[in-house]
């Protein structure tokens, strides 16, 4: 029986928790079981389809947990969909050091018969000052 995510936020928490635990099964429960799902890892090619996305995460998580701290979320909701734009703080372990890198991520969720499911994850490199330098609409600011 599939896991029911009552909100897109609940699905997102499960997604990042699964990455931190290197739990591929839990991670794939968040994804819609559909061939029209898309994933783009930082600097990577576009991956389309549930099986291809499963294989990409399996390869990534073979190295162990992926500690990612999501923050600064901007969430756009509709009745059947949600778009989450956030900053990921990724901790990368090297042989003799630890590095923290930032990514901008867009996670898109659709609501279906089994609750909210991810249909797209797109992450790209962000500057180390991500969050502090992000531009926000300011009254009187002309583009």
pLDDT value at position 142?
Answer: 52
Q: What is the pLDDT of residues 15-68, one digit of tens each?
A: 999 999 999 999 999 999 989 999 999 999 999 999 999 999 999 999 899 999
The pTM assigned to this predicted structure is 0.89
pLDDT value at position 25?
Answer: 96
Q: What is the pLDDT of residues 46-55, one digit of tens each?
A: 999 999 999 9
Note the residue count of the chain: 143
Domain boundaries, the chain: 8-126
What three-state secondary structure class fits 113? coil
Compute CA distances 1 → 4, 31, 52, whole Å.
Answer: 9, 15, 23
Cβ pair 17, 27 in contact under 8 A: no
Q: Checking DSSP bridges between strand 115-126 and strand 68-77, what pairing results, if any?
A: unpaired
Tokens 């002309």 -> residue? 142
Q: What is the pLDDT of residues 115-132, one digit of tens each?
A: 999 999 999 999 877 766
What three-state secondary structure class fits 138? coil
CA terminus-to-terminus distance, the chain: 50
| Domain covering 8-126 assigned CATH 3.10.450.50 in the classification | yes
């Amino acid at each position: 029986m599939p896991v029911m995510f009552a909100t897109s936020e609940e699905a997102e928490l499960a997604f990042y928790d699964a990455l931190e635990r290197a739990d591929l099964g839990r991670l794939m429960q968040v994804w819609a079981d559909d061939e029209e799902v898309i994933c783009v890892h930082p600097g990577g090619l576009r991956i389309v389809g549930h099986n291809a996305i499963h294989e990409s995460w399996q390869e990534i998580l073979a190295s162990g947990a992926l500690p990612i701290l999501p923050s600064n979320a901007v969430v756009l909701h509709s009745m059947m969909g949600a778009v989450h734009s956030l900053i990921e703080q990724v901790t990368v372990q090297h042989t003799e050091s630890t590095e923290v890198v930032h990514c901008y991520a867009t996670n898109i969720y659709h609501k279906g018969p089994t609750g909210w499911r991810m249909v797209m994850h797109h992450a790209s490199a962000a500057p180390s000052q991500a969050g502090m330098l992000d531009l926000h609409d300011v009254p009187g600011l002309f583009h």
